[in-house]
Structure 1
Amino acid sequence: MIEALIKNDSLQEYLTSESGFWYYFNNQDTTQIKEANIGDLVTFTYNIKKLDGSTVISTTENGIISYKVDQSNQDLISGIRDGIKLLKEGETATFIFPSYKAFGYYGIEKKLGTNIPVRSTINLISINQNQNN
């Protein structure tokens, strides 16, 4: 399903992550050099959609998230945690996560079945660097 989606989407240039998902930039800032590292406090928004584009969880439902990179115990799927580290402050990207990087076997009760890949658009609003970085 993911390969077909990417093949049929001639408008975007998809990149492949080392973590096993695909993404493209909606808004990329080539002048920024600061990326999120372990311990940095990031502020971002994101949504979750099915591959057909139907919304599972909206950006409004999630609100603005504050997350300490790789040190918070928040209930973020691993794809979101990995995707944030690929963005610079002010950038927005859309990610295609296979089910094992998303909600896997459990899904989301009454919203998303089991073993379903998803797409998510993440907007990284700010990065507050950890003093040790």
Structure 2
Amino acid sequence: MLNSLLKITIVIALTVIVSCGVQPGEKEHKRTLTRDELISLNRRMVEIDADEIKDYVEKNNLEMTETKTGLWYRIDEEGEGNIVTKGNVVDIKYEVRLLDSTFCYSSDSLGTKIFKVGQGGVEAGLEEGILLLKKNSKATFIMPPHRAYGLVGDDDRIPGRTSIVYKVEVVGLKEE
């Protein structure tokens, strides 16, 4: 509850800062302050997200590793062959849930995801995590909002500023 209130407060503060008018003589000074304040608010939101994920990992007794970007991962099954690299085309089965276990999407109903690694088009956290895997690997990723759907969510089942749990299996790997 406290995290939700803090998130709402930060979003409101961000909105107020961005929408404030600037007097003609103050334009350059205000722009610098606004930029610095936005950077500070963004850093604080990333810290809040990191704390929320860390609490989730500890509460569920998960053995996971955090990357420098804030992605948490656990390789559940190692797989075989070469590790995925940029330029490879991967085919993955997946399931996406919110941290509160709310179901969002899965390949069971939507089909597998096929994408070329390094070309975007999927969540940044998914691309980062896939680069840790091999064919037939299974893994769990926890993506903070800035590595998943960001401030706005996906306009469907994933709200804005939400961390997600991604369970994946690399079922196809084509090296290019």
Which residue number in structure 2 is paired with residue 17 of structure 1?
Answer: 67
Deviation string, structure 1 residues 72-114 (Cα, Å, up to 9, x no partner): x53x111111111111110111111101001111112242221
CA contact (8 A) 1:83 1:95 kept: yes
- State the distance in 2 between where 1:128 and 1:56 align: 28
Alignment of 1:62-101 (within 5 A): 62-71=110-119, 74=121, 76-101=122-147
Which residue number in structure 2 is paired with residue 43 of structure 1?
Answer: 91
1:47 partner SS: strand
Greater per-residue helix proportion: 2
Aligned with residue 55 of structure 1, among 74, 96, 103? 103
Aligned length: 125
Larger Rg: 2
Alignment of 1:82-121 (within 5 A): 82-121=128-167
TM-score computed with the length of structure 2 as normaliser: 0.65
CA contact (8 A) 1:47 1:62 kept: no
CA contact (8 A) 2:141 2:166 kept: yes
1:5 aligns to 2:5 (yes or no): no
Deviation string, structure 1 residues 4-59 (Cα, Å, up to 9, x no partner): 1111222x320122332101122223xx3411111111111222210011111122
- State the distance in 2 between where 1:117 and 1:38 align: 25
- State the distance in 2 between where 1:60 and 1:20 align: 28
Runs (4+) of structure 1 moved beyond 6 Å? none
Q: CA RMSD in A?
A: 1.6
Taking every aligned residue pair, what percent have the same amino acid on both sides? Answer: 23
Unaligned runs of 5+ in 1: none
TM-score computed with the length of structure 1 as normaliser: 0.84
Structure with larger RCO (C-alpha < 8 A, sep 6+):
1
CA contact (8 A) 2:93 2:106 kept: no
Worse overlay, 32-41 or 97-106: 32-41
The residue type equivalent to 2:56 in the other structure is: L
Which residue number in structure 1 is paired with residue 37 of structure 2?
Answer: none
CA contact (8 A) 1:19 1:82 kept: no
